[in-house]
Structure 1
Amino acid sequence: MKVAIIGIGRMGAGMAVRLRESGADVVVWNRTPAKAEATGCAVAGTAREAVAAADVVLVSLADDAAVVAAYDGPDGVVAGLREGTVVVESSTVDPQTVRRVEPLVTGRGATLLDGPVSGSIALVEKGQLTFMVGGPAEGIDRVRPVLDPLARQVFHVGPLGSGAVVKLAVNTVVLALNQALAESLVLAERAGVARETMYEVLANSAVGSPFVSYKRAAFERPGQVPVAFSIDLVAKDLDLVRQLAERVGARMPQAGTNLGVATAAVAAALGDRDMSAVATYLRMLSGEL
């Protein structure tokens, strides 16, 4: 199948390389061409050009504004769509953003799914992501040949927008774990227990989980491990959680607290650091840094 990938950030690049190595015909577009070229895939000059011959389009962008901008305009995704193409919006965005672009996509005779993912860059490289997909079942069936090389599991979670809702709910737990890990380590350190010792206990205790294992190096060696998910994106996602919770009337005091910490860490110039640097921010508050 011919696949277009719009947005070559960490996840988009990982998906592009994985699909290329799996034998798919992949063309990519990114606002920064150098990142697109690094994937080894064919590079389009515009989003419109990238999707023009695609059977499936995967969109992976940083935020809602970038998504809307990528779909719109004479050189945008919508302008290049052909009838029968399936677009999978895998960015972490507000469900309302997905619904906002749906009529633009369907107006071209194409199908829109929202299919954000759960998983790290290491997991996309192994083809073990989890896709949470909202939209028509027949659309999911058509994109299976593209999702299967990327995914360990593909969940159909409901109508369009449901994928975005489930992703925000999942990230609520992930980001709470990140905050709890940071607080636990800083508490133990302040009380005289070595960071590595504390992490070894956590990893082998009742709270041990894939996330705890995956983030071990980042927490134990701050600043020495490549950024997997930055604190500014943590704050962005938690703000989306806040907005959704307000609309549906859900009380989420823990998520609100975690948003406050992430926002403060961004204000302390840690926004481009890995999410594990929440611990660094807490050490700053404790006067250690």
Structure 2
Amino acid sequence: MIPVLDYDDLTDDPEGFAFALGQACREDGFFLLANPPLPPELLPAVFDRAAAFFDMPEALKAPLSITGNARNRGWARIGSEQAGGAGRPDRKEAFNVGLDLPENDPRVLAGEPFRGSNLWPDLPGFREAMLACYGHMLSLGIKLHEAIAMDLGQPPEFFAPHFTQPMATLRLLSYPPGTGAADEHGAAAHTDYGALTLLATDGEPGLQVLPRGGHWMDVPQLPGALIVNIGDCLMRWTNDIYVSTTHRVLPPARRRQSVAFFLDPNPESMIAALPGTGTPVYPPVMAADYLRSRLESIGAQHPQEQELLEEDRARDIAS
């Protein structure tokens, strides 16, 4: 059973909250977060603007295609992504928003990995809603890392320097109704790459998790709560103390929308086994290199990142 944590306990009983979070992260890798500190109007506005975008004709969405943007931003059409080992592409549509940097930012001009400007549709209120959501989700993710640090015997502020300019992505997702075709899926079985994923859904079922040694189980719906799960980067950082759990999305009976915030660290952060966690299971790796390696493993499904990888290799050879 996926545990439910109450965000209010992080203030009222931080040690108790950290203990409960640590237990969830060790056993399930998933938990529901009740009473997240989000303005009540935030997510309704995001879902409304996301639906308006996905309802636009493809001709208007095409100029914002993620395949033409080397920084993992923009629109991904249905069938354009396929998890490794999956028999068929995911049946979902998506739109990515990253750290919003101007085109003349030195990091963008230098071609640093995962640094770029966002692409925006011509929709009233879209940009404002997404940037507000990005900011609130980032603040919440950083706050949850205080409890993670406490659980792992580190100072509460341990992770804060690693999330000042993170490689975080706010991803809007739309799953059309299933067709009944064999082996069809909204999103094939996978684990997330980053540290934490914060997920809001429209209440339509479909998300399932596969606990280690267990069977597929539905993630319950709790109005107003966020679904939080551990990514592979944090599992590596904690030296496999926390678990990154496989999950998938089944084809829904009617359109299903969700908003996922994938929190990856700063590109230059070194991901190494935390002190006191025993003999390192993995060698240290820079966060940007780790994320790049994971995207490279499915590069055929992510041509925009493959292009970035080729640019970076060429730059390394030239230097």
TM-score, scaled to structure 2: 0.25
Higher helix proportion (structure 1 or 2):
1
More strand, by proportion:
2
TM-score by length of 1: 0.27
